[in-house]
Amino acid sequence: MDRQRTDRQLRLIAETIRIADALGVDLWLRGGWAMDFFLGSPTRDHTDIDWFARKRDIEPLARELLWSGWTSLSGSPADQQRDFAEQGEESSFALLDEDGSGHAVVAGGPWAGERWPDGMLDGPLGRIGTTACPVISPAAQIEIKRMTPVWIPGRPRRAKDAEDIRVLETALRDGGGG
């Protein structure tokens, strides 16, 4: 494992949470870092840091990230996901909205209005060392990793996703995370 990169990404996660907390903005880790925070320690190298944020919160969060030295990246539709970089590391914020019944849905882009898994935002507070961070529920994480190739035709199943599913299912079966 690239310890320097892992430590840098952990510092950026902590900084992002500090910024969000100061703004009163809720964030949830998703992807590989969500799994690691659920388990209580890094399990592998990560190419980026994936988050969920509410659509209504992204502008104040973006302003503060930019003011703090982060760079805005282009890529996904801005109403679906916002991407930023700091210290050579990318953080992606997939945007959430709510449907009429208060269920989390995709905020924009080609899948706008599609529901995310039930209970996704009810995950535990994850922790690595002294950094605590909300994470999406492990069950939702598993569903997203299983279903992404179905939801997005042409997206291949990735070996790291299969391994993450195995690790999460084992942790859940054995009584939870870290």
Chain segment 101-122, per-residue pLDDT in tens:
999 999 998 889 999 999 999 9
pLDDT score recorded for residue 44: 94
Whether residue 75 has pLDDT greater than 90 = no
The stretch 70-85 carries a mean pLDDT of 93
pLDDT score recorded for residue 178: 65
pLDDT score recorded for residue 153: 77
Q: Which two tokens stand for residue 176?
A: 């939870």
What domains, with CATH codes, occur in the chain?
A: 3-136 (3.30.460.40)
CA 67/CA 116 separation, integer angstroms: 31
pTM to 2 decimal places:
0.93
For the chain, the 3-state helix, strand and coil shares in percent, each to the nearest 5, are 45, 25, 35
CA 114/CA 106 separation, integer angstroms: 5
The stretch 32-57 carries a mean pLDDT of 97
DSSP H or E run through 94: strand 89-98
In which band, very low, low, confident or very high, does the pLDDT at 148 lie, cut at 50, 70 and 90? confident
pLDDT score recorded for residue 143: 94
pLDDT score recorded for residue 150: 80
